[in-house]
């Protein structure tokens, strides 16, 4: 905690909470950095005369780095505050983006691309900042609205990246990342004040509290719900291109449009979560979202089994996963950070790392399970199995959390 002299000389602006726009930008850029350059992978491989499998490490390696970083970013923000960790991460992202832009060989490019993973602090700590600023029920509503804006990024990112590549080459995306990083660093410096009002005195003190979080069944229940809910989406994006190509002979543009439907569903679900958060208990919201996701997938499997094989059968079923995730995720994220208020950043980082790990595993599983023979039934079946695990996690949380005040979001539990 700052002493009296430090507090007097500290500029007032850095102690004020951020605007919602700043939090949206922090979350959205973290998403953009993952998918905006994807249309350029082939061109990057050609430029560096590298194999596509090697260049694809810019995606897989990036995800691995973000998983590790989240386990560091959270505890660091609990110890030193949200603001300095975010500023350091944004500065590193900006430098790494410039490195990718100027890279002359694949290894330099990949090294700087992995360093871009520092931007994950934007989405990880934006959630924590919201939880710092508000009681749980209001935080759920705010995260719902932020998620609505965030849902636009995965829809527009590849489109913007593809246009930039067509007009100026693949390096244009990394020039854009550099400029965005500098702009977001400036915005954060000016607007985002420190919201962690009780940072840990030392890492030793923090580590003594850490086992309490790890032993919390409520924490693991929320984390499981987040990981399995998101995992169904990872399975979808990994398996649906093959299924759509085999069954419907879709063009890339048409497939992209249909794939965007699950994100549109997430947008709708997030809107519902934002509107209902003040009136519906968090465990109820979590469970309702999982029931919606599972119901849509069951309906899709029944229609496929009945021989009704149509684009709307497949994508009509998966859109329910998007809606369900939009309803579930704000409550799950707030819940995971509310187990120990003094370890909110640590909880968010650990949960985020678990989510990335489960997502990576399910991406691999979709590649194994979904084949030319198994097709749509295997994809929907895998998504249903994962969504059902998320529903079990939500039901477990509802069972564990008996305190009505906690369920209304009025306490930390």
Q: What pLDDT is attached to residue 80? A: 84
Mean pLDDT over the full length of the chain: 82
Q: How many helices (H) and strands (E) does the chain have?
A: 19, 0
pLDDT of res. 3: 42
pLDDT at 253: 59
**C-beta separation of 140 from 285 below 8 A:** yes
pLDDT: is 240 or 203 the higher one?
Answer: 240
In whole angstroms, what is the distance from residue 185 CA to residue 178 CA?
11
- Integer Cα distance of 125 and 85 in angstroms: 9
Question: What average pLDDT does the segment 13-18 reach?
Answer: 64
- Assess contact for 122 and 70: CB atoms under 8 A: no
Place of tokens 């004020």: 16
Residue 11 reports pLDDT greater than 60 = no
pLDDT of residue 413: 41
Q: What is the pLDDT of residue 2?
A: 41
**pLDDT of 352-411, one tens digit each?**
888 888 888 887 787 788 776 667 888 899 999 999 999 999 999 988 887 554 444 434
Q: Which residues contact 239 (CB under 8 A, 6 or more apart)?
A: 366, 367, 369, 370, 378, 379, 382
pLDDT tens, residue by residue, 20-64: 888 888 888 888 887 788 777 778 888 888 886 788 778 778 888
Q: Report pLDDT digits (tens) over 89-127.
A: 999 999 999 999 999 999 999 999 999 999 998 888 888
Percent of the chain clearing pLDDT 90 (strictly above): 28
State mean pLDDT over 314-324. 92
Domains of the chain: 11-135+149-199 (1.20.1250.20), 216-407 (1.20.1250.20)
């Amino acid at each position: 905690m700052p002493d009296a002299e430090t507090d007097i000389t500290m500029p007032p602006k850095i102690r004020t909470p951020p605007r919602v726009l700043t939090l949206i930008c922090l979350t959205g850029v973290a998403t953009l950095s993952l998918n905006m350059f994807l249309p350029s992978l082939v061109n990057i491989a050609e430029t560096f005369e590298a194999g596509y499998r090697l260049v694809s490490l810019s995606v897989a390696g990036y995800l691995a780095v973000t998983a590790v970083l989240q386990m560091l970013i959270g505890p660091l923000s609990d110890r030193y505050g949200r603001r300095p960790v975010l500023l350091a991460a944004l500065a590193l992202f900006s430098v790494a983006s410039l490195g990718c832009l100027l890279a002359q060989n694949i290894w330099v490019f990949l090294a700087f691309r992995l360093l871009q993973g520092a931007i994950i602090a934007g989405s990880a700590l934006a959630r924590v900042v919201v939880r710092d600023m508000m009681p749980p029920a209001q935080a759920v509503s705010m995260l719902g609205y932020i998620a609505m804006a965030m849902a636009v990024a995965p829809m527009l990112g590849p489109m913007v990246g593809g246009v930039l590549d067509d007009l100026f080459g693949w390096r244009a995306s990394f020039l854009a990342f550099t400029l965005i990083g500098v702009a977001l660093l400036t915005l954060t410096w000016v607007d985002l004040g420190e919201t962690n009002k009780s940072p840990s005195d030392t890492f030793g003190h923090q580590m003594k509290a850490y086992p309490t979080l790890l032993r919390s069944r409520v924490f693991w229940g929320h984390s499981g719900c987040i990981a399995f809910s998101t995992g169904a989406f990872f399975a979808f994006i990994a398996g649906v291109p093959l299924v759509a190509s085999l069954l419907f002979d879709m063009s890339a543009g048409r497939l992209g449009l249909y794939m965007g439907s699950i994100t549109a569903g997430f947008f709708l679900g997030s809107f519902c979560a934002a509107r209902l958060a003040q009136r519906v208990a968090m465990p109820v919201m979590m469970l309702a979202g999982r029931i919606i996701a599972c119901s849509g997938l069951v309906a899709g499997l029944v229609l496929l089994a009945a021989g009704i094989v149509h684009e709307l059968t497949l994508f009509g079923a998966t859109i329910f996963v998007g809606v369900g995730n939009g309803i579930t995720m704000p409550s799950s994220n707030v819940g995971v950070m509310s187990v120990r208020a003094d370890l909110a950043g640590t909880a968010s980082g650990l949960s985020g790392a678990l989510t990335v790990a489960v997502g990576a595993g399910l991406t691999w599983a979709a590649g194994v399970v979904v084949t030319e023979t198994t097709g749509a039934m295997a994809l929907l079946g895998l998504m249903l199995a994962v969504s059902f695990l998320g529903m079990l996690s939500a039901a477990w949380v509802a069972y564990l959390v008996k305190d009505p005040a906690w369920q209304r979001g009025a306490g930390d539990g």
